[in-house]
Amino acid sequence: MEEGEVTVTKRPIHPLRAMREHLNLTQKRLAEEAGVGAQTILRAEHNKPINAESRRLLCDYFGMTPEALGLVNNEQKAVDNRRPPDTPAIALQEIPTSPIAQAIAQGIVLASKQLESTDMAHTRFHVLQRYGLAPHLTQPLPDAPPLWQRLTMALKKPTELDDMTLKHLEAITRDCWSVLSDMLGIFSQGMLNYVLQRLEVVTTFLESPLSAEARHRLARVAGELAQVAGEILFDLKEHEQAEYYYNAALEAARMIKDEIMQAVILGRKCFIPLYNRNAQQALTLLQEAHTLSPLYLPEVTRAWLWAIEAEAHALLRNEAACQKALDMSECFLERGQPGNLPYTRFNSTTLLNYKGTCRLRLHQTELAIQTLHQSLLRLDTTRTRQKAIVYIDLASAYCQANEMSEACLYAQEALYLIGQIKSARVFQRFLNMRRQLDSWQKLPSVKSIDEHIATLRPLINPFWNT
């Protein structure tokens, strides 16, 4: 130690606070979800005694012992040296591990902080065990209808679920959305299995008698989980299955009369025809989305829908309609509250990406290159997937400009990122761009790209159908 230095002894963080922060929960949020008072959480985290019922509720919530949560101090041990009845004796290190938790261990960049909350989903699983639903997660019925079909039928039933279980399911849904963008690609299949297992539980609940309020909340969870499933299936190039789950999500949104959710689902669904180059079908879906409570849809949601519409018009080579849609998107984005559209992260940088893609589709080559470079400068460096897409579009734009050295440079950069994310959807976008290089396939740089493609294909192949 240098002379004059002062050592500061850090107080160890309380286990309950560690778990709460591990799950990105505020004291108020934890109190609401666990069914205790906010002052109870405050007292516990300051190592003050709390009553036995509050300890039991917190232990039930986390699926941990009071000792593991630091809820039994010396004063409490003197009067209560027993674990509350029916509290699962599961310490933090014993929480089950899923493909998503394994993804944390394997070091997904930046996803880890968000993914930590998915451990919570596994402790919530103990609540579902009480209803005898655990076998459904690992042993689906052999001759049962497809899950998306069962969900659609269950939503139509006039159908009791306790509040804690509903809160657990809602929290699981938030967890899924929070990690989705960082999971797509290399962990798509594991994430899909995880989501479908939870949707299996929700569907089973929907097939049983429910109060009106519980049914409404559960249908919302079902709609969100079905959307996530659709997103993952789309990334896996399973378009037919993706559409089934989007439609089931839409059924849930209509049932609870949530027009914002309906609009978002329709926007997501648009990408299936767009990637199949069926722009007219995408425009039909967007027209339906635009008619949904235009006065109440958040401006950022409307901006996102107009950006998608711009890309559809660009595919049809309708320059005037494309520019109008881009102008509308920019207008709504400026009017909207700061922040991102939930679950899509749409912002001014994303709009720049859309502008670059539209100009590329319209063969406005110089403008496309300029816009895509602006997008790269502003893009969050953690958004690897989006960066790969911008690189692909830049490679395509330089192909249009017959600047092959630049085209090949950005193509190789895109392949490097695709090798990290292993997204079938992004890889397919790259292969579509590769066709522009056919006239130069004898160039050493193009041959190098083809060799790189050959090494990537078997790595990505398990996640998609060629």
Residues 80, 208, single domain; the answer is no
- What does the buried/exposed string (b/e) look like for 121-153 if buried means 16 or more CB atoms within 10 Å of the residue's CB? bbbbbbbbeeeebeebbeeeeeeeeebbebbbe
Residues 402, 465, single domain; the answer is yes
Residues 250, 110, single domain; the answer is yes
> From its phi and psi, is residue 347 left (phi > 0), alpha (psi between -120 and 50) or beta?
beta
Residue 429: partners with Cβ closer than 8 Å, 6 or more residues away: 389, 392
The predicted structure's pLDDT at residue 157: 57
The predicted structure's pLDDT at residue 132: 37
The predicted structure's pLDDT at residue 115: 34
Residues 115, 75, single domain; the answer is no
The predicted structure's pLDDT at residue 89: 31
pLDDT tens digits for range 325-364: 999 999 998 887 654 444 557 888 899 999 999 999 999 9
Residues 142, 243, single domain; the answer is yes
pLDDT tens digits for range 400-452: 999 999 999 999 999 999 988 888 889 999 999 999 999 998 899 999 999 99
CATH assignment of the domain containing 33:
1.10.260
**Residue bearing the bigger pLDDT, 175 or 283:** 283
Token pair 């017959």: residue: 402
Q: Show which of 224, 240, 257 is a domain's final residue.
A: 257
Q: How far is CA 282 from the centre of its chain?
A: 22
CB atoms near residue 80 (< 10 Å): 16
CA–CA dist 126, 164 (Å, integer): 12
Q: Does 21 have pLDDT greater than 50?
A: yes
Show the tokens assigned to 304.
Answer: 């996102």
- Tell me the C-alpha to C-alpha distance, in Å, between residue 82 and each of 61, 69, 78, 88, 231: 18, 14, 10, 13, 46
What's the whole-number average pLDDT of the chain?
78
Q: Show which of 93, 115, 144 is a domain's final residue.
A: 93
Residues 246, 390, single domain; the answer is no
**At what angle are helices 404-421 and 424-434 packed, to 10 degrees?**
160
CATH assignment of the domain containing 418:
1.25.40
Residue 316 lies in a domain: no
Residues 73, 123, single domain; the answer is no
Q: Does 24 have pLDDT greater than 90?
A: no
Residue 315 lies in a domain: no
Residues 62, 169, single domain; the answer is no
The predicted structure's pLDDT at residue 191: 84
Total structural domains in the chain?
A: 3
Residues 63, 210, single domain; the answer is no
The predicted structure's pLDDT at residue 156: 65
- Cβ proximity of 17 and 45 under 8 Å: yes
Q: What are phi and psi of 258, to 5 degrees?
A: -100, 95
Residue 426 lies in a domain: yes
CA–CA dist 52, 44 (Å, integer): 12
Report the percent of the chain where pLDDT is more than 70: 76
pLDDT tens digits for range 259-282: 989 999 999 999 999 988 899 999
Could you tell me the residue range of the domain that residue 58 belongs to? 15-93
Give the per-residue SS3 of the chain. Answer: CCCCCCCCCCCCCCHHHHHHHHCCCCHHHHHHHHCCCHHHHHHHHCCCCCCHHHHHHHHHHHCCCCCCCCCCCHHHHHHCCCCCCCCCCCCHHHCCCCHHHHHHHCCCCCHHHHHCCHHHHHHHHHHHHCCCCHHHHHCCCCCCCCHHHHHHHHHCCCCCCCHHHHHHHHHHHHHHHHHHHHHCCCCHHHHHHHHHHHHHHHHHHHCCCCCHHHHHHHHHHHHHHHHHHHHHHHHCCCHHHHHHHHHHHHHHHHHCCCHHHHHHHHHHHHHHHHHCCCHHHHHHHHHHHHCCCCCCCCHHHHHHHHHHHHHHHHHCCCHHHHHHHHHHHHHHHHHCCCCCCCCCCCCHHHHHHHHHHHHHHCCCHHHHHHHHHHHHHHCCCCCHHHHHHHHHHHHHHHHHCCCHHHHHHHHHHHHHHHHHHCCHHHHHHHHHHHHHHHHHCCCHHHHHHHHHHHHHHHHHHHHCCC
Q: Which of 339, 346, 425 is nearest to 383 (CA)?
A: 346
Residue 415 lies in a domain: yes
Q: Which of 271, 277, 306, 276 is nearest to 289 (CA)?
A: 306
CA–CA dist 101, 117 (Å, integer): 9
The predicted structure's pLDDT at residue 337: 62
Residues 242, 202, single domain; the answer is yes
Residues 230, 191, single domain; the answer is yes
Residue 293 lies in a domain: no
The predicted structure's pLDDT at residue 108: 28
Residues 41, 138, single domain; the answer is no
The predicted structure's pLDDT at residue 143: 54
Residue 290 lies in a domain: no
Rounded to two decimals, what is the model's pTM? Answer: 0.66
> From its phi and psi, is residue 363 left (phi > 0), alpha (psi between -120 and 50) or beta?
left
The predicted structure's pLDDT at residue 67: 79
CA–CA dist 299, 222 (Å, integer): 25
Report the percent of the chain where pLDDT is more than 90: 38
CA–CA dist 378, 73 (Å, integer): 50
pLDDT tens digits for range 130-179: 333 333 333 343 455 777 776 777 666 544 667 777 888 888 888 888 77
Residue 326 lies in a domain: no
The predicted structure's pLDDT at residue 128: 37
Residue 326: partners with Cβ closer than 8 Å, 6 or more residues away: 306, 307, 310, 351, 354, 355, 358
Q: Show which of 93, 114, 146 is a domain's final residue.
A: 93
- Cβ proximity of 174 and 342 under 8 Å: no
Residue 208 lies in a domain: yes
The predicted structure's pLDDT at residue 394: 96
**Residue bearing the bigger pLDDT, 436 or 184:** 436
Tell me what the mean pLDDT of segment 190-195 comes to. Answer: 85
| Burial group, residue 212, by CB count within 10 angstroms (0-12, 13-18, 19+) | exposed
Tell me what the mean pLDDT of segment 104-128 comes to. Answer: 35
